Structure 1
Amino acid sequence: MKTKLLLSALLLPIFCFSQEYQVFKSLRYDEDYSFIKNDSTKSDWYSKMKFIPLNASKDTYLSLGGDVRFQYFYAKNENWGDGPQDSDGYVLSRYLFHADFHAGKFFRAFVQAQSSLADGRIDPSPVDQNPLDLHQAFADFNIINEGSKKLIVRAGRQELSYGSQRLVALREGPNNRQSFDGLKLITEKENVSADFFFTNYVIARNGIFDDTSNQDRQFWGSYFVFNKIPVIKNIDIYYLGYKRTKANFDDAKGRELRHSLGTRIWGKSGNWRYDGEAVFQFGDVAEKKVSAWTASINSGYRFNSVKFKPEIGFKTEIISGDKTQGDSMLQTFNPLFPRGAYFGLASVIGPSNLIDFHPSLSFEITKNIDWIVDYDMFWRYSGNDGIYAPNTSLIYPGNTTTKKKIGNQLESEIVWEPTPFLYFRLEGTWFQAKDYIKASGTGKNIFFAGITTQLKF
């Protein structure tokens, strides 16, 4: 009884606070708690943790926060039955804690530690297991910080996220989020914002404070966002440069230098939402010239006047693959740093050499409970190229068969968010292996189930 009373006393301020403010963002460093400075009603322990004044004027302050997530997953016939199999399932846990220091309007420092653990996972990868490390540590120098006008120089280890996260993502789905070491220039004026950056990818290692900046994988670029455009609402235009010393595609191995030019149109109009994106890539991998591309459409219509507010969604992608083995060209698209669970948390395929048709249906059961059902159909774009994981590692080569059908995936999930602080998800995925998978490996159907619970503060 005492334990329940103590727990209630600790959580009650959090629940009360959550009803007033929708504070959490996917990039935690974008959150701003300076509003507490002049609000005398915020005297509970949680508010005091989010805004800790360090001088009399309260212009210098510290904000603390974090994220704790636990997941249980069970997979039958993981990797279509190839490789070691686990009949018991495994538990993933992730802990993120950060401190955000502000000194007036013109300087801030952000530090975040991450611990990602995989219990019961057979041969966990760095995406699952990274016991303890410095995930982010950067300083912002606010050269201009006046309302809608901003000019900020950011230096240090940081997360990057752009657009729909097709090419540059936090990697929130997998257990270990990703980060980059480098410099970024952030600009904003009225309805236009732009980032310019040069970074090295941070390699996660299975140790304590041993993640290192990797000059073998360099990433740079510029990203422009134009808002409030007539008719189309919003448009992104970007250039992304990428270099790595050891690329490994089905028909090319060696040093990779790749440039990506892309645009994205997105927004909402009434009950409609829409997101269309196109990217062209050029460069070289070893002695081969790169000429790759992708185009996608993600749209949906929500019936707000109907019970449960059903939304019909449709997404399709065409992603190029290599046309001819042994020639001087490579058409395999590189998704760079995409969200890890690209086609659901089962994450069996990455976005390279792919045609994907993806209808979905979602319901708002209550204000805080959503039910989503989606069905995905996959084909190889090119019958001469293989299929790849989200990190472009080759799963199966292209020469096992001329058949293109990879398989069909049915997924359903129930998401409950009682407050912005708490998140629960129950999900199940069934992947039906088709001709290409059956010709390339064991070819069994996959069943995947998972339970997620998450607390943000």
Structure 2
Amino acid sequence: MKKLLILLVLLSHFTGSYAQTTLTFKPLRYDEDYSFLKDDTSKRWLETIKYTALSTSKSTYLSLGGEVRYQYFYVRNEDWGESPTDTDGYVLTRYLAHMDIHAGKHIRTFLQLQSSLANGKVSTSPVDENPLDLHQAFIDVNLYPTQKDKLIFRLGRQELSYGSQRLISVREGPNNRQAFDGLKAIYTHKQAKLDIFYSHYVAAKKGILDDRFNPDTKLWGAYIVKNNTGFLPQIDLYYLGLWKKEATFDEGQGQELRHSVGGRLWGNRGNWTYDAEGVYQFGDFNSHPISAWTASLNTNYKVDKIRYKPEIGLKTELISGDKAYEDEKLNTFNPLFPKGAYFGLAALIGPANLFDLHPYLKLELHKKLSWDIDYDVFWRYSRNDGLYAVNMTLLYSGKNINSTFIGQQLSTDLEYTPTDFLYFRTEFTWFHTGQFLTQAGAGKDILFTAFTAQLTF
């Protein structure tokens, strides 16, 4: 807590000095472009670290940035009462620092270090604690930098994020973000963008600088985004391939080769916002065929002419599970590498073998302060499959349990963003267990509270 107090003092200095700024921080930090500061004469230190000329022509320059995030968690009955009791909670800390070097218009190198620490947590995984590692290190070759159509080749360790992050994401919620070693071609043409890539997933380890090349998990694919297609404002189409040396499902263990073909329609019309997505998967698991699928819908309506501008929405998902045990087929959907906080920061359940209804309400209490209320109800889609975590770890087998009702989750959070640099969030989640959890394990209700303070620069 002493470190947190020191951080808050530093944050107050930032807000006073840079209440107004033209800098924009993005979820993928390598997407930021500070070339507009080339002729900046303010000489303020922040603009200086964002654009430091390394040549007399200023065509070669250095940009620095980073992030500090503190999170306090308290969980009562963690893992529905299966984990050891923790009476005072724990703190997760994440540090990110990057260096972006542009050598003229054609060559660019991006390097990023990540340090994720856990203090007071009874048991940790590399997702919680990874003291120091090279998170990103890649080189870009831009073949046509001055033309409207652009073609960039990217080689090295890099973050990948696509669409709504249901299948491929940076895993922002957990303490340790995820990355891939690979080659990617990025083609941009008018109102369309196409990515083609081949990569190996970087498996996090608890040591220092030990997240090495991983031959056991491969991801490849193509993802195209088309804007302003006429009646439909935005559409995504994609193919994703996954190979894992060893995967585990309620059906068993074995080698997995899975192909995902999907599409996403998203956009807004007036006060309505919508996001619909469907995916079909096929392939081979342990010499048996795969046939799995998912369909999701997220729609909301914003009443912007009354106080607090309420936004009323509904999310729902159908995610396939295995139809039958020992039938030499696998129907369990694999979400690949989804965002960690899939159903809230508590991240209790993963998107496999699931049917959920999720109404929510958002209120804009102030321009910089919002209040969200979420209610989610979960069922197993198939009685012949288990319950999975976000990372596809099997939490409970579905064998010999007929009930499909998993439980109900009520969450609420306050988000405060005083400046572009600062972000604060406090969250409370209550999970009331259903019959499946009470039959499968300890089945205790979960109370989850969290506080987040984040500085981005």
TM-score range normalised by the length of the shorter chain = over 0.9
- Distance across 2 between alignment mates of 1:192 and 1:12: 37
Bigger drift between 108-117 and 85-94 goes to 85-94
CA drift at 1:139: 0.2
Q: Which residue of 2 aligns with 1:316?
A: 316
Bigger drift between 360-369 and 75-84 goes to 75-84
Give me the CA root mean square deviation: 1.5
1:177-232 CA distances to partner (integer Å, 9 max, x unpaired)? 00000100000010111000000011111111000121100000000000011111
Q: Which residue of 1 aligns with 2:345?
A: 345
Query: Which AA in structure 2 matches 1:15?
Result: Y
3-state SS in 2 of match to 1:162: coil
TM-score, scaled relative to structure 1 = 0.97
Q: Which residue of 2 aligns with 1:35?
A: 36
3-state SS in 2 of match to 1:36: helix
CA drift at 1:401: 1.3
Q: Which residue of 2 aligns with 1:99?
A: 99
Bigger drift between 211-220 and 7-16 goes to 7-16
1:237-261 CA distances to partner (integer Å, 9 max, x unpaired)? 0000000011110013110000000
CA drift at 1:399: 1.2
CA drift at 1:7: 5.4
1:141-182 CA distances to partner (integer Å, 9 max, x unpaired)? 001123531100000000000000000000000000000001
User: Compared with structure 1, are the counterparts of its residues 101 and 285 closer, same or farther at alpha carbon in structure 2 (3 Å cutoff)?
Assistant: same
Contact 1:252–1:285 (8 Å) recurs in 2: no
CA drift at 1:85: 2.3
- Distance across 1 between alignment mates of 2:148 and 2:424: 36
CA drift at 1:24: 0.5
Q: Which residue of 2 aligns with 1:381?
A: 381
Query: Which AA in structure 2 matches 1:354?
Result: L
After superposition, where does 1:50-129 map in structure 2 within 5 Å?
Answer: 50-129=50-129
Are 1:11 and 2:14 matched, yes or no?
Answer: yes
Contact 2:15–2:419 (8 Å) recurs in 1: no
- Distance across 2 between alignment mates of 1:14 and 1:33: 19
| Runs of at least 5 residues in structure 2 that lack an aligned partner in the other structure | 1-5
1:87-128 CA distances to partner (integer Å, 9 max, x unpaired)? 211000000000000011101000000000010111201110
- Distance across 2 between alignment mates of 1:11 and 1:369: 19
Are 1:191 and 2:194 matched, yes or no?
Answer: no
Query: Which AA in structure 2 matches 1:144?
Result: Y
Contact 1:13–1:45 (8 Å) recurs in 2: no
3-state SS in 2 of match to 1:292: strand
- Distance across 2 between alignment mates of 1:126 and 1:339: 16
Contact 1:400–1:439 (8 Å) recurs in 2: no
After superposition, where does 1:251-262 map in structure 2 within 5 Å?
Answer: 251-262=251-262
Are 1:23 and 2:13 matched, yes or no?
Answer: no
CA drift at 1:417: 0.1
Contact 1:13–1:46 (8 Å) recurs in 2: no
Are 1:426 and 2:429 matched, yes or no?
Answer: no
Q: Which residue of 1 aligns with 2:3?
A: none
3-state SS in 2 of match to 1:49: helix
- Distance across 1 between alignment mates of 2:10 and 2:266: 43
- Distance across 1 between alignment mates of 2:125 and 2:73: 15
| Runs of at least 5 residues in structure 1 that lack an aligned partner in the other structure | none
- Distance across 2 between alignment mates of 1:147 and 1:337: 34
Contact 2:158–2:180 (8 Å) recurs in 1: yes
- Distance across 1 between alignment mates of 2:147 and 2:375: 44
Query: Which AA in structure 2 matches 1:148?
Result: K
Bigger drift between 370-379 and 141-150 goes to 141-150
Q: Which residue of 2 aligns with 1:296?
A: 296
- Distance across 1 between alignment mates of 2:21 and 2:237: 35
CA drift at 1:341: 1.0
Contact 1:128–1:176 (8 Å) recurs in 2: yes
Q: Which residue of 2 aligns with 1:151?
A: 151
3-state SS in 1 of match to 2:216: strand
CA drift at 1:20: 3.2
Query: Which AA in structure 1 matches 2:34?
Result: Y
3-state SS in 1 of match to 2:135: strand
- Distance across 1 between alignment mates of 2:430 and 2:387: 19
1:34-69 CA distances to partner (integer Å, 9 max, x unpaired)? 1011233x3211111110000111110000000000
- Distance across 1 between alignment mates of 2:17 and 2:241: 42
Contact 1:143–1:152 (8 Å) recurs in 2: yes
3-state SS in 2 of match to 1:96: strand
- Distance across 2 between alignment mates of 1:304 and 1:447: 33
Q: Which residue of 1 aligns with 2:49?
A: 49
CA drift at 1:22: 4.9
Contact 1:407–1:432 (8 Å) recurs in 2: yes
Q: Which residue of 2 aligns with 1:325?
A: 325
- Distance across 1 between alignment mates of 2:447 and 2:232: 40
- Distance across 1 between alignment mates of 2:229 and 2:145: 24
Q: Which residue of 1 aligns with 2:371?
A: 371
- Distance across 2 between alignment mates of 1:278 and 1:229: 19
Q: Which residue of 1 aligns with 2:160?
A: 160
Query: Which AA in structure 2 matches 1:28?
Result: R
Are 1:226 and 2:229 matched, yes or no?
Answer: no
User: Compared with structure 1, are the counterparts of its residues 43 and 89 closer, same or farther at alpha carbon in structure 2 (3 Å cutoff)?
Assistant: same
After superposition, where does 1:387-406 map in structure 2 within 5 Å?
Answer: 387-406=387-406
3-state SS in 1 of match to 2:228: strand
User: Compared with structure 1, are the counterparts of its residues 13 and 213 closer, same or farther at alpha carbon in structure 2 (3 Å cutoff)?
Assistant: farther
Q: Which residue of 1 aligns with 2:142?
A: 142
CA drift at 1:14: 5.1
- Distance across 1 between alignment mates of 2:12 and 2:24: 21
- Distance across 2 between alignment mates of 1:281 and 1:111: 34
3-state SS in 2 of match to 1:215: coil
**Number of residues of Structure 1 aligned to a counterpart in Structure 2:** 451
Query: Which AA in structure 2 matches 1:260?
Result: S
TM-score, scaled relative to structure 2 = 0.97
- Distance across 1 between alignment mates of 2:11 and 2:383: 59
- Distance across 1 between alignment mates of 2:85 and 2:175: 20
